[in-house]
Amino acid sequence: MSSNGSLGWGLVGASDIARTRMVAAINGQPDSRVVAVMSSQLERAQHLAAESWADPADPIPRAYARLDELLADPAVDVVYISTTNERHYEQTLAAAQAGKQVLCEKPLALSVADARGMVSACRAAGVVLGTNHHLRNAATHRTMRRLVAEGAIGQPLAARVFHAVYLPPRLQGWRVARPEAGGGVALDITVHDADTLRFVLNDEAVEATALGARQGLASEGLEDAVMGVLRFRSGTLAQLHDAFTVRFAGTGFQVHGTEGSLMAQEVMTQDPGGRVVLRRENGTHEVDVGEREDLYVRSVRAFNAAARGQGDPAATGEDGVRSLAIALAVQESMRTGCCQTVADGTD
Ligand code: NDP
């Protein structure tokens, strides 16, 4: 930690999400700064470091080509891992061993066992592990969680997630071409649905069944579209449609209960927009979701607090294990044609 008490963040991965969202979210906090970036290609790290994303007069001070160099930097307190998915596991273990706090991108890993290993390693090292599931930071989803918990719709019976989008051309790389990097729609999009459903319903998925397809973008061995159904412990059923290939559907999230329905539009996005409607016997009205904040800013703020020993990250490592377990069950169901039990996410 610097002498003024600011947390130094090191970026592991010169990624699109670091560049477009996270640098500004970290530097926008009064108590944290990005102090270093690492890429397997030094020029990529240097390029990101030199870009004036937050403040033209204040570029990221150091660029590294090796993880051990970044982890040896005493100014780095927190590591943000946003490399391709197959690298998250080893990089998290190394960061924990170096005593750094870790905010890791979703999916945490490519297997539940590895994700559990990440949680255990961070726990053993006494460092915080967070999963960067941004959607649970949205005022819309937080409001729906509260309303469900308060009984506004009675007993939840069913949920529907509409998360079929068009993958921007700049991101049509490893996600649609490299199974070994953890590409495919389930590990990219379904994993977010899984976390948001768990969060809003405050329930755990136990079973998954799904059909997947290749509809124009994905290479052999990967799916770019999926429709699936989850069964939750309470008996609630959830239906999801996720895709990289649908340009005009818009997104949505609905929960239908014995006493009412919550229907949210344009809420499965990176921005804090969208609206929520509550329909009950006495009519339909728009829900006031309160103050809307950038989802990544809220994620970083909660992580900074957790790193200082105050509370938990918005999504913990355990949350990341559980969302991964659901996404993997959906993926396995697509590939085998069989209903899958969701692996228990606990140690
Ligand atoms: P990118 O494809 O932009 O970056 C991933 C890695 O690919 C980088 O770490 C980099 O490796 C390498 N890379 C980047 N640009 C190039 C290039 N031009 N040529 C060759 N290699 C390159 O990934 P995303 O930012 O889309 O995703 C990164 C992670 O973040 C994933 O785990 C993803 O699931 C997650 N994500 C999460 C989101 C959220 O909202 N929570 C949203 C988007 C992504 P190196 O670092 O070695 O240079």
Kindly report, residue by residue over 130-142, the tens digit of the pLDDT: 999 999 999 999 9
* Mutation to probe ligand 1, out of 11, 12, 16 (largest number of atoms < 8 A from CB): 16
| Secondary structure class of 65 (helix, strand, coil) | coil
Sequence-distant (≥ 6) Cβ neighbours of residue 113 within 8 angstroms: none
Cβ-count burial 146-173 (b if 16+ within 10 Å, e if not): ebbeeebbeebebbebbbbbebeeeeee
Give the pLDDT of residue 345. Answer: 64
pLDDT at 52 over 60: no
Q: Whose alpha carbon is nearest atom 18 of ligand 1?
A: 44
E strand map for 82-184: 101-104, 129-131, 156-164
| Lining residues, ligand 1, CB within 6 Å | 13-17, 39-41, 44, 82-85, 105-106, 132, 134, 171, 173, 188, 270
For β-strands 7-12 and 32-38, DSSP reports them as: parallel
Give the pLDDT of residue 182. Answer: 96
pLDDT at 316 over 70: yes
Give the pLDDT of residue 344. Answer: 82
**pLDDT band, residue 53 (cuts 50/70/90):** low
**Can you give the pTM of this predicted structure?**
0.97
* Cβ atoms of residues 212 and 225 within 8 Å: yes
**pLDDT band, residue 23 (cuts 50/70/90):** very high
Query: Which atom of ligand 1 approaches the CA of 296 most closely?
Result: 40
**pLDDT band, residue 55 (cuts 50/70/90):** low
Q: Whose alpha carbon is nearest atom 23 of ligand 1?
A: 15
